[in-house]
Amino acid sequence: MQREKWGSKIGFILAAAGSAIGLGNIWKFPYIAGANGGAAFVFLYLISIILIGVPVLFAEILIGRTTNRNPVGAFKKLSNGSPFWTSIGGLGVLAGFLILSYYAVVAGWAVGYVVEAARGVFYDFPTPDAAGRHFNALIGNVYWIVGYFALFMAITMAFVLFGVQKGIEKGSKIMMPILFILLIVLVVRGLTLDGASEGMRFLWNPDWSKVTGQTILLALGQAFFTLSLGMGAMLTYGSYMSKKDNIPISGLEIVALDTAIAILAGIAIFTAVFATGQSPNAGPGLIFHTLPVVFTKMPGGYIFSILFFILLTIAAVTSAISLLEVITAYFVDEKGWHRKKAVMIFGGITFLLGLPSALSYNVMADFRIFGLNFFDFIDFISANILLPVGGLFISIFVAYFWGFDKAIPNLKQGAENLFDKNHWLESYWKVFLKFFAPVLILIVLLSSIGII
């Protein structure tokens, strides 16, 4: 059977941007930027993208496109069957599994909040505290949290079931433009509110006094997470690419879209938060405690609240699709399974694995592993350990084992003109992948496990 591939270049870019643009952009980026010095954080974040985001992104897409395989098959092929490198690919598949299991729980909240918004219940909870209590009551309800988690998993599985072109690509081509339009609508609404400028000042006023070593680590970690790096999602999407496609240009387009969406989300959120007199320092509660109140206080808020949670849901779906696709590609490529069987079985197992994460907010709230509830534990293991470990070994593999002698000619395929005209590009990629990326990722990893 012939392996699937993208139907068009834009299909790949939208699918990969869909993977990158997720809860991390709409939820996490605005509040960590807000809490860590505004423009000062945005600046550090952009530097981090250049230092580690772009070089590792090119490396992942390249490994995929060169081998036309899932992460396990790709490492196996390029390392001539080395068990160590093959297991690095396996770590990626495992990380995909773990991340999807709790990411889909949070994504379920977004789906549930589309319904809450449409029911108009935000008007019953006029303060962030009251809205927060309502939120806690919802996630404390086993049926609510598990129900929307299951619904979200079913939606994700439906897209992956239809395959690369008819499911993932087609879905991305429909959902991503909707996401862009919704966000633009919300940005315009935010900017035209009375008092919006205060939100802009909050986001753009660089407060360097808030910048510490910890801030730099946060910026590096966010740059890495937001581009879906370290577990082979971009590798797998790259594996459906044609040799005629231009990896650096496509990669930079993905980065530009991802960064633009994160910044626009920050603008949409903080203009509205300040214009309605709310406090921005709500941390992770920003979206589910503060924003519902913000919507009740702004003209047209009912409609905008529905649009916002649809936006959040779409961002999460296109990311979750890429996570499930990594697992699916592994069983299709390596075990010769039918796509349908892989999606049904591993979608199902991911749901079972996610159940204790969903129950962490209610019946299993007291269950602790190393002092963390199940949800936080899985989040910590996957995002703080497996992703940096994966990213570290991906850089080391390309720079030191596979080697630039072999990697560069492959990277140049489809991008000959670009490299002819921009000699610095080759040096940039080599130097940053060889030195900056591994060292900085290692520092992030050591700090997240508390060694430094």
List residues near ligand TRP by CB under 6 A.
19-20, 22-25, 99, 225-226, 228, 231, 233, 319, 322-323
Q: How far is the CB of 318 from ligand TRP (least distance, A)?
A: 9
Q: How far is the CB of 418 from ligand TRP (least distance, A)?
A: 26
* Closest to ligand TRP by CB, 259 or 305: 259
SS3 state of residue 369: strand
* Closest to ligand TRP by CB, 21 or 146: 21
* Closest to ligand TRP by CB, 131 or 315: 315
Radius of gyration of the chain (CA): 21
* Closest to ligand TRP by CB, 232 or 414: 232
Q: How far is the CB of 25 from ligand TRP (least distance, A)?
A: 5
* Closest to ligand TRP by CB, 314 or 440: 314
Strand partners, 369: 372
* Closest to ligand TRP by CB, 51 or 293: 51
Q: How far is the CB of 58 from ligand TRP (least distance, A)?
A: 17
Q: How far is the CB of 231 from ligand TRP (least distance, A)?
A: 5
Nearest-angstrom CA–CA distance, 410 and 369: 44
- HSE-CB at 125 with a 13 A cutoff on CA atoms is 24
* Closest to ligand TRP by CB, 267 or 298: 267
* Closest to ligand TRP by CB, 110 or 196: 110
Q: How far is the CB of 30 from ligand TRP (least distance, A)?
A: 12
Per-residue burial over 341-357, b if 16 or more Cβ lie within 10 Å, else e, is ebbeebbeebbebbbbb
Q: How far is the CB of 388 from ligand TRP (least distance, A)?
A: 11
Q: How far is the CB of 96 from ligand TRP (least distance, A)?
A: 7
* Closest to ligand TRP by CB, 225 or 274: 225
Q: How far is the CB of 366 from ligand TRP (least distance, A)?
A: 29
- HSE-CB at 308 with a 13 A cutoff on CA atoms is 29
- The residue ranges of DSSP E strands in 111-162, in sequence order, are none
Cα-flanking dihedrals φ and ψ of residue 140, to 5°?
-80, -10
Nearest-angstrom CA–CA distance, 417 and 246: 10
Q: Which of 172, 181, 228 is nearest to 13 (CA)?
A: 172
Contacts of residue 80, Cβ cutoff 8 Å, sequence gap at least 6:
none
Nearest-angstrom CA–CA distance, 235 and 390: 12
Nearest-angstrom CA–CA distance, 254 and 15: 9
Residue 409 Cα distances to 60, 209, 293, 426, angstroms:
15, 45, 54, 10
Nearest-angstrom CA–CA distance, 439 and 442: 5
* Closest to ligand TRP by CB, 318 or 447: 318
Q: How far is the CB of 322 from ligand TRP (least distance, A)?
A: 4
Q: Count other Cβ atoms within 10 Å, centred on residue 124.
A: 12
DSSP 8-class letter at 303: H
Nearest-angstrom CA–CA distance, 61 and 44: 24
Nearest-angstrom CA–CA distance, 10 and 169: 9
DSSP 8-class letter at 169: I
User: Two tokens at 433?
Assistant: 């992948």
